[in-house]
Amino acid sequence: MTRSNIVALGALAVLSVFAGLSQADALQSVRATKDEVITVVITPSPAPVGFLRRSAPPVAPAPAAALARLLDDPFSPRLIASAGALWDVAPGGGTMIAQSTVQPPSVPVQFVAKPDPNSLYLKLIDHTPELDVPYGTTVFPCAFEVYTFYDKATYALNDYGQGTAKSGTGPYPVLNFPATSYLSWATPDFSPTYRAYWNSGAPGERVWSGAKLQAQQHCVDLTIVVPNSQPAGTYTAVIQYNLLVN
């Protein structure tokens, strides 16, 4: 066999392996989907505390006529306010207490909670659903946990920012491709390295893989960057997690 034939056969074998891997990826289907909703509240750094000298509260002077009357005759009879011939407060009229109205009885409402069939395979456990952040970079260890399991085949977990597209730089914090997301994640059980959330649509990026009947639950650490140009306020990021099975 000539050297050229050996090289050709080797190249064909490599192409066959890549074709098989591509076909396996294409055959994966979404078995369960969960959305992680993250609220980001940007608060500017607190202003320096200042001290002000408190002034004495103003004292209303007593009416001159009333004061003079009390000095002339301190035992004079008291007067009841009146307006012409009608009394504002009738003498001897007693005191009226506000009457409470009768409220209708409350109607009990029953809610029927249906089990989530996907929770057997994919669950999200929140620890820090709201990120209260100043300007700069803030780290949130184990902001939430992800549980995965599948009993019929091997599986993989993917994630990506929901509602993103290849169309510019907004909205904050995940942004859109080709801009880099300001929100990044890491799974410390596998690696301490942070990766910006995928923001160019499905299928997303691989988080981890699992064997058949393998249950896993891992923390997801988050880090978020708030540039000085970002206005203070409340923002929302929705991260979609998909469980892919072969």
Provide the 8-state DSSP code for 101: P
Q: What is the pLDDT of residue 11?
A: 46
pLDDT of residue 44: 85
Residues of the chain with pLDDT under 70: 1-27, 46-104, 106-115, 168
For the whole model, what pTM was predicted?
A: 0.63
**Do residues 33 and 118 lie in contact, with contact meaning Cβ atoms separated by under 8 Å?**
yes
DSSP 139: E
What pLDDT score does 56 carry? 55
Can you tell me the distance from the alpha carbon of 246 to that of 26, in angstroms, rounded to the nearest whole number? 9
Per-residue model confidence (pLDDT) at position 167: 73
Q: Which domains can be identified in the chain, with CATH numbers?
A: 31-42+116-245 (2.60.40)
Say what the pLDDT of residue 53 is.
55
Identify the pLDDT of residue 18.
36
Q: What is the pLDDT of residue 143?
A: 98
